[in-house]
């Protein structure tokens, strides 16, 4: 019997390209020419807060709504005398529905009345001591953000080219200062409606009457705690998780929308690598924990304000004015590159 030529045997065993591909081990991925590793990454819109930010912001109206509901169903609160001019229940200890319904409670005197001082101390303690904030540029931009938020606090509660926004809003909505009759008779008063600030009215023995009074307590507590959350949480998340986790998106100069991590080179990036993998809570550091205490106390006093002080509309406007300031400092720069170059982003 004759043996077939050798070349015929080799040609009969030759595999087609499809057979070669099907014989590859399953651990070798087959990628199309257009494959990209980020094709399934979901990006957040740069014009709105991220889902986590929205969840945190939602705690404010929830606290206010819970406080309003509690005030309606609580027999002690409903039966306590309420002064619409002072936006508070009776301050007589025997008539006040709660210790926290009295304006002389220690947290109100030592914490809320000095609220912005506590916010400022907590912020600088974090910005100076946290190892993730090392470069001059990072600290400078953080201070710029603090300055802008502080300026908004001043404009709303202290001074706005004359009376503060709260006082101007009260006057524009029809409010006035009612001076006590005895002051007018003695010639110590200037007459009704002549005072343009709540402080001046009170100093002369008068009281605000009519008009809409934006809740300064709600404004301060929301603005201060929201500011600290933005400054601390983004840094702690990136430091503790090694840059992983939810990402903000930004609009670049050419109009492209990218993750905020692309800004690291310009901002200097997070300092060091020691914190990676330690977790967000441990990554807070001493300054971050102090900020956390301020945020928790702010939440508690916000709840007390929701239960015992102001009307629901006054509390709502206080909330909206505070959120407007936070949006301007922390969200608008994400879609305005020129502004972002000045104020930066926390954690970048």
pLDDT at 42: 65
The residue with greater pLDDT, 237 or 221, is: 221
Q: What is d(CA 38, CA 104) in angstroms, rounded to the nearest whole number? A: 56
Q: What is d(CA 211, CA 213) in angstroms, rounded to the nearest whole number? A: 6
Residue 245 has pLDDT above 80, yes or no: no
What number is the average pLDDT over the span 289-305?
96
pLDDT-derived band at 107, boundaries 50, 70, 90: very high
pLDDT at 9: 46
50-70, pLDDT tens digit by residue? Answer: 999 999 999 999 999 999 999
pLDDT at 120: 97
Residue 280 has pLDDT above 80, yes or no: no
175-213, pLDDT tens digit by residue? Answer: 877 774 445 445 554 444 445 677 777 777 677 777 788
Residue 24 has pLDDT above 60, yes or no: no
What number is the average pLDDT over the span 232-245?
76
pLDDT at 333: 96
Annotation marks residue 310 as catalytic: yes
pLDDT-derived band at 339, boundaries 50, 70, 90: very high
Q: What is d(CA 319, CA 241) in angstroms, rounded to the nearest whole number? A: 32
Residue 46 has pLDDT above 50, yes or no: yes
Secondary-structure breakdown of the chain: helix, strand, coil percentages, each rounded to the nearest 5 = 55, 5, 40
Annotation marks residue 130 as catalytic: no
pLDDT at 20: 42
Q: What is d(CA 123, CA 206) in angstroms, rounded to the nearest whole number? A: 37
DSSP secondary structure letter of residue 347: T
80-95, pLDDT tens digit by residue? Answer: 888 777 788 888 888 8
Q: What is d(CA 122, CA 292) in angstroms, rounded to the nearest whole number? A: 9
Name the nearest CA neighbour of 214 among 163, 151, 149: 163
Residue 345 has pLDDT above 50, yes or no: yes
What number is the average pLDDT over the span 27-42?
40
Catalytic one of 7, 35, 85, 310 = 310
Average pLDDT, the chain: 81
DSSP secondary structure letter of residue 309: B
125-157, pLDDT tens digit by residue? Answer: 999 988 888 889 899 999 999 999 999 999 999
| Continuous H helices in 215-311 | 216-240, 264-267, 285-308
- 286 burial class (0-12, 13-18, 19+ CB within 10 angstroms)? exposed
* Cβ proximity of 60 and 254 under 8 Å: no
Residue 304 has pLDDT above 70, yes or no: yes
Catalytic one of 35, 130, 212, 217 = 217
pLDDT at 232: 94
pLDDT at 336: 95
């Amino acid at each position: 019997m004759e043996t077939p030529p050798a070349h015929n045997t080799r040609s009969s065993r030759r595999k087609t390209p499809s057979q070669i591909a099907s014989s590859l081990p399953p651990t070798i991925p087959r990628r199309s020419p257009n494959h990209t590793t980020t094709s399934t990454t979901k990006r957040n819109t740069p014009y709105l807060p991220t889902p986590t930010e929205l969840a945190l912001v939602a705690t404010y109206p929830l606290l206010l709504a819970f406080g309003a509901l509690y005030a309606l169903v609580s027999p002690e609160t409903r039966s306590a005398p309420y002064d619409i001019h002072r936006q508070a229940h009776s301050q007589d200890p025997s008539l006040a529905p709660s210790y926290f319904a009295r304006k002389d409670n220690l947290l109100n005197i030592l914490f809320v009345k000095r609220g912005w001082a506590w916010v400022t101390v907590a912020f600088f303690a974090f910005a100076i001591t946290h190892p993730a904030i090392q470069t001059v540029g990072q600290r400078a931009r953080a201070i710029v953000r603090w300055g802008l938020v502080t300026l908004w606090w001043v404009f709303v509660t202290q001074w706005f080219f004359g009376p503060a926004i709260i006082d101007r809003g009260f006057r524009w909505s029809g409010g006035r200062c009612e001076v006590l009759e005895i002051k007018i008779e003695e010639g110590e008063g200037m007459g009704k409606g002549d005072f343009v600030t709540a402080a001046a009215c009170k100093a002369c023995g008068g009281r605000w009457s009519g008009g809409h009074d934006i809740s300064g307590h709600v404004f301060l507590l929301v603005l201060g705690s929201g500011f600290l959350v933005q400054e601390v949480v983004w840094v702690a998340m990136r430091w503790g998780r090694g840059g992983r986790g939810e990402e903000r998106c930004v609009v670049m100069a050419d109009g492209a929308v990218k993750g905020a991590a692309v800004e690291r080179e310009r901002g200097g990036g997070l300092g060091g690598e020691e914190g990676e993998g330690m977790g967000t809570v441990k990554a807070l550091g001493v300054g971050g924990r102090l900020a956390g205490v301020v945020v928790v106390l702010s939440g508690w006093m916000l709840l007390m304000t929701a239960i015992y002080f102001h009307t629901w509309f006054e509390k709502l406007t206080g909330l909206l004015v505070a959120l407007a300031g936070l949006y301007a400092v922390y969200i608008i720069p994400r879609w305005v590159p020129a502004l972002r170059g000045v104020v930066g982003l926390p954690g970048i």
